[in-house]
Amino acid sequence: MLPLADDSLVLSHRLGEWAGHAPVLEEELALANIALDLLGQARALYAELGEEDELAFLREERAFRNCQLAEQPGGDFAHTMVRQLYFSAWQELLYAQLAELGQPLAAKAVKESEYHRDHAEHWTLRLGDGTEESHARAQRAADSLWRFTGELFEPIAGPGPVGEVDWDALRTGWTERITRTFERATLTVPESPQEGAWKAGAGRQGIHTEPFGRMLAEMQHLHRSHPGASW
């Protein structure tokens, strides 16, 4: 479950970067709310694996197993919303399977990711079918983040329910969902390859994109400056 914990931690951090920058007050609340849910998921999953702060603050870039999608910088609001849509639609379907397979933490996460997906979906509709500018920005976000979505369907090895996930069904369900949303949003589903240059390695193997190292440097700096301290 380490890859899933890392996904939630890293995306939560990225959303936390929006605090004080959101386009409307309501989104300050929504983005912080989603970030908090994700952080809660990460903490619950880390608790099963070891000491949460050790896992979050003392591993280096190559030891993180999150997907590259989660670590992508927020960009403009359209990038943040499309990133969220791609991720939450996937997380909702994955956690639904995990819940059925008996993963105890998944049931709560399904409800949360459903809310996150719904929120991102509504914004994708507003941006895609809003003004000419918002449409262009949403399409650009959809296109530029597309190459990070293939990784979501690389099977995650592991003992327990995650080893039994039907990844093909996940891909089919996800593709249907995104296609339907994009249609309603008057957006085009990208035709470029879903796999980036990092298909062989990618985040699940600890191969990350460049912005991730800087993200970790900021996130871990204070904790690492005071070895052994409690907070």
Partner 1 sequence: MTSVLLGEGTQGSAEPVESVAAFDSAIAADERIEPRDWMPDDYRRTLVRQMAQHAHSEIIGMQPEANWITRAPSLRRKAILMAKVQDEAGHGLYLYSAAETLGTSREELLDKLHSGRQKYSSIFNYPTLTWADVGAIGWLVDGAAITNQVPLCRCSYGPYARAMIRICKEESFHQRQGFELLLALSRGTEAQHAMAQDSVDRWWWPSLMMFGPPDDESSHSARSMEWKIKRHSNDELRQRFVDICVPQAEALGLTLPDPGLRWNESRGHWDFGPIDWEEFKQVLQGNGPCNEERITRRRQAHEDGAWVRDAAAAYAAKHAARGRGKVQERTETAVDTAVSA
Binding site for partner 1 (CB under 8 A): 9, 13, 16-17, 19-29, 32-33, 35-36, 39-40, 42-43, 46, 52-53, 56-57, 76-77, 125-127, 129-131, 133-134, 137, 218-219, 221-223, 226, 228-231
Q: Which is nearer to partner 1, 21 or 62 (CB)?
A: 21
Least CB distance to partner 1 at residue 135 (A): 8
Separation between Cα atoms, residue 70 and residue 63, nearest integer Å: 15
Least CB distance to partner 1 at residue 129 (A): 6
Please give the torsion angle defined by the CA atoms of residues 118, 121, 122 and 126, in that order, rounded to the nearest 10 degrees.
Answer: 170
Separation between Cα atoms, residue 78 and residue 142, nearest integer Å: 8
Least CB distance to partner 1 at residue 35 (A): 6
The single residue listed with the structure tokens 């003392």 is: 58
Q: Which is nearer to partner 1, 20 or 159 (CB)?
A: 20
Q: Which is nearer to partner 1, 28 or 154 (CB)?
A: 28
Least CB distance to partner 1 at residue 21 (A): 5
Separation between Cα atoms, residue 7 and residue 94, nearest integer Å: 13
Contact indicator for 52, 43 with CB cutoff of 8 Å? yes
Contact indicator for 84, 34 with CB cutoff of 8 Å? yes
Q: Which is nearer to partner 1, 13 or 208 (CB)?
A: 13
Least CB distance to partner 1 at residue 211 (A): 13
The terminus-to-terminus CA distance of the chain in angstroms comes to 26
Q: Which is nearer to partner 1, 53 or 166 (CB)?
A: 53
Contact indicator for 119, 30 with CB cutoff of 8 Å? yes
